[in-house]
Amino acid sequence: MADRASETISIQASPERVWEIATDIASYPSWAHDVKSVEIRSTDDQGRPVDVEFRASALGRTTHYTLRYDYSEAPNKLSWSMVTGDIQRSIDGAYSLSSSGEGSTDVRYELSIELAVPLPGFVKRRAERRILNAVHGMKSLAEG
């Protein structure tokens, strides 16, 4: 069974600016602290990353996984699902953006992960907090 987490924050930047950050996947290592590297494996006809291989810190080790990005609800939602992973069975997630007026954007970050090995609850909660911190990195970049 997959573990789910979500967080909604308000970012003092336009939806266009937040979308630009969310879709600049090659730059994730500069603001999503657990992401160590990305390699774009394929792009769509508009040059947007579709299949992206990640190397990230997770639970005291390095993990590798490839995500496939879906732009079908652009520019309101960027979603993804796992293609391959080493310690994960599945990863599904999304950034949903909505204008909250006066140049600010509400961002809902949703993530569902199923690991290949079960973990104790306290370890899962600690990992969840670290993962959800990624949206705070996005906020700092957008507002900086």
Distance (Å) of CA 8 to CA 38, 41, 106: 25, 30, 7
More confident position, 33 or 78: 78
Q: What is the CATH number of the domain that holds 60?
A: 3.30.530.20
Q: Collapsing DSSP states into helix, strand and coil, what is residue 134? A: helix
> What one-character DSSP code corresponds to residue 113?
E
* pTM given for the model: 0.90
Omega cis (within 30) before 75: yes
Query: What is the per-residue pLDDT across 65-121, written as a single tens digit (0 to 9) for each?
Result: 999 999 999 999 999 999 999 988 999 999 999 999 888 999 999 998 888 777 656
Instruction: Give the phi and the psi of residue 125 in degrees, each rounded to 5.
Output: -65, -40
Q: Considering its fold, how many domains does the chain have in total? A: 1
- At position 6, the amino acid (one-letter code) is S
The candidate with the shortest Cα–Cα distance to 81, out of 71, 68, 72, 94, is 68
Domain membership of residue 78 as a residue range? 3-143
Query: What is the per-residue pLDDT across 117-141, written as a single tens digit (0 to 9) for each?
Result: 776 565 556 656 666 778 899 999 9
